[in-house]
Copies of this chain bind each other. A is one copy, B any other.
Amino acid sequence: MDGEDSKPMAKEKTNFQILSPPNTRDLVDSVDAFLFDCDGVIWKGDALIDGVPETLEALRSMGKKLVFVTNNSTKSRRQYAKKFNSLGISVTEDEIFSSSFAAAMYLKVNSFPIDKKVYVIGEEGIYEEMKLAGFDCFGGPEDGKKSVLFGSNSLFDHDKSVGAVVVGLDRCINYYKLQYGNLCIRENPGCLFIATNRDPVGHLTALQEWPGAGCMVAAVCGATQRDPILVGKPSTFMMDFLLQKYNIPTSRMCMVGDRLDTDILFGQNAGCRTLLVLSGVTNMETLKDPSNCIWPEYYTSSVSDIMSLSDDR
């Protein structure tokens, strides 16, 4: 399994197309599973995007598998399923692949020693997934209010048995956590540095973008001078789990997302069809900017177009 950072590959500009009735019908017919990003695709902050429940329902009734692949690490799969259900969308935990779960699975498949501990710079989601996977973890929310005392002879002590530092979005980031992670990575031999994702910003509220995990991961890189192992999109680490579960070739999967450098690149890296929705962080200007080198197969304004266009006979 490969959890290494996947860099965008130089690629010829493809003829990306706007979704239209004929190509939408072709796409739907030739795909058995739709992989959806969540933030900016299903919802923005806590606000559902128009037409999403009906679209998902219609796809399900056509026998399509629905999978939710999200880089947001602040929730566990359980917490995600709860959010979906609270918004009136029936989704089960095992249809959700969050980067918090991916981080725990990375340690699992790489036989992370049971006598080693995990230090978390992140929120509840990572913490819960680590515990569920049976790992001894600390940090995260419980270190959110800690501060550092600077005496001339004071020593900041850290646990030498930490074997992995997992970094995701952390809205309670502070200097204590940064130093804790820094010391573990620099001083504990072989300590892993795992990033749930590197999204620069995300729609944490409907009205604005906020610093994402990419901010905290960069901070740790800046101090440690180390590159992380990336488990979220665009890394295809999660794809092996998907393939094992659904037994569908990636050529019959379509990744639907709002970010070029995570969602669309993940889809392309995995060999999936790709559909960019403009309901999140990417707009037409960004998509058509000469500096952009990641193009989806299709683009459209939002998820509901999949059904409205394929119904338009």
Query: For residue A152, which residues in chain B have a CB less than 8 angstroms away from its CB?
Result: 45-47, 205-206
- On chain A, the number of residues with a Cβ less than 8 Å from chain B's Cβ atoms is 46
Considering the complex, give the chain B residue whose CB is closest to the CB of A181: B211
Q: Is A140 in contact with chain B by the CB < 8 A criterion?
A: no
Instruction: Return the contact of A211 from the options B154, B182, B201 (Cβ within 8 A).
Output: B182
Interface string of A198-219 (1 = CB under 8 A from B): 1011001111111110111111
A222 and B204 contacting across the interface, CB-CB below 8 Å: no
CB distance from A223 to the nearest CB of B (A): 4
CB distance from A147 to the nearest CB of B (A): 8
Considering the complex, give the chain B residue whose CB is closest to the CB of A224: B200
Q: How many copies does the complex hold?
A: 2
Q: Is A173 in contact with chain B by the CB < 8 A criterion?
A: yes
Query: For residue A219, which residues in chain B have a CB less than 8 angstroms away from its CB?
Result: 173, 211, 215-216, 218-219, 222
B155 and A208 contacting across the interface, CB-CB below 8 Å: yes
Instruction: Return the contact of A218 from the options B179, B210, B218 (Cβ within 8 A).
Output: B218
B45 and A210 contacting across the interface, CB-CB below 8 Å: no
A204-B156 Cα distance, complex, nearest whole Å: 11
Instruction: Return the contact of A223 from the options B148, B212, B225 (Cβ within 8 A).
Output: B212
B171 and A173 contacting across the interface, CB-CB below 8 Å: no
Q: Is A174 in contact with chain B by the CB < 8 A criterion?
A: yes
Query: For residue A155, which residues in chain B have a CB less than 8 angstroms away from its CB?
Result: 205, 207-208
Q: Is A61 in contact with chain B by the CB < 8 A criterion?
A: no
A215 and B178 contacting across the interface, CB-CB below 8 Å: yes
CB distance from A128 to the nearest CB of B (A): 19
- Footprint of B on A, CB under 8 Å? 45-47, 148, 150-156, 170-175, 178-179, 182-183, 186, 198, 200-201, 204-212, 214-225
